[in-house]
A and B are shown apart, each in its own frame.
Chain A
Amino acid sequence: ETGVTQTPRHLVMGMTNKKSLKCEQHLGHNAMYWYKQSAKKPLELMFVYNFKEQTENNSVPSRFSPECPNSSHLFLHLHTLQPEDSALYLCASSQSPLAGGQGEQFFGPGTRLTVL
């Protein structure tokens, strides 16, 4: 595998389900991100991790719970979601600015989530 991979690519869940999204980067980066992309809305940054530590949470509801066990893996745990949470969830990675990164991020293909 190369680049940034995300699984699953598609997910349909009920409002009472618990599911997890997985992201893995094979680029040797040390910063990882979750974004939400909804139709007709700007791209929304949800969480930022630098060297496995969460450095940003953009007022994301607690029904979204991120986990970063190491610099290569990032999870987004989902529970009791609402239909308006249906969106494309994108993971990205970059070299941390603390390690000389210039800001370019590399994205995975996304998980298309539908909440019924």
Chain B
Amino acid sequence: GNSVTQMEGPVTLSEEAFLTINCTYTATGYPSLFWYVQYPGEGLQLLLKATKADDKGSNKGFEATYRKETTSFHLEKGSVQVSDSAVYFCALSDQAAGNKLTFGGGTRVLVKP
């Protein structure tokens, strides 16, 4: 079956530091990959996506590249802000599984001023 593994948190950073959250996946088909972000007290928001190998998703300064050879979709941001403090979820959807989302366990990120 499909699965997503992401690094456990919490990740604590200072403002303007570089952020990387690792995500690897296993899938039987050719999945689409997503990063979602959940701010305190809110639902999940789609942050970025990539639908095929070598695609790069980007939004709000965050980037992730779909690497088929390493089955990875690591999230990066060059300079984080306090407002980036949230929980980040890596996820995949697979047409063979009816496009249901398979989520990683989430990584809490805390950015200190």
Query: Which A residues form the contact surface with B (CB < 8 A)?
Result: 4, 6, 31, 42-43, 45, 48, 55-56, 90, 92, 94, 96-97, 101-110
Tell me which residues from 11 to 40 in chain B have a Cβ below 8 Å from any Cβ of chain A: 31-32, 34, 36
List of B residues within 8 angstroms of A107 by Cβ: 36, 43-45
A102 to chain B, nearest CB (A): 5
B43 touches A103 (CB 8 A): no
Q: Are A48 and B100 in contact (CB under 8 A)?
A: yes
Residues of A within 8 A of B94 (CB): 103
List 9 A–B pairs whose Cβ atoms lie within 8 Å, in order of A's numbering: A42-B106, A43-B89, A43-B106, A90-B44, A103-B31, A103-B95, A106-B46, A107-B44, A108-B43
Contact of A90 among B43, B51, B100, B105 (CB under 8 A): B43
Give the number of chain B interface residues (Cβ < 8 Å): 24
B residues adjacent to A (C-beta < 8 A): 31-32, 34, 36, 41-46, 49, 51, 89, 92-95, 98-101, 103, 105-106
Contacts A55-B98, A97-B99 given; does A103 touch B105 at CB 8 Å? no
Once the chains are docked, how many angstroms separate the CA of A110 from the CA of B87? 15
Contacts of B36 in A (CB 8 A): 107
* Chain B residue contacts of A97, Cβ below 8 A: 95, 98-99
Shortest A41–chain B CB gap in Å is: 9
Residues on B with C-beta less than 8 A from A109 are 41-43
Whether B42 and A102, one on each chain, are in contact in the complex, defined by CB atoms closer than 8 angstroms, is no
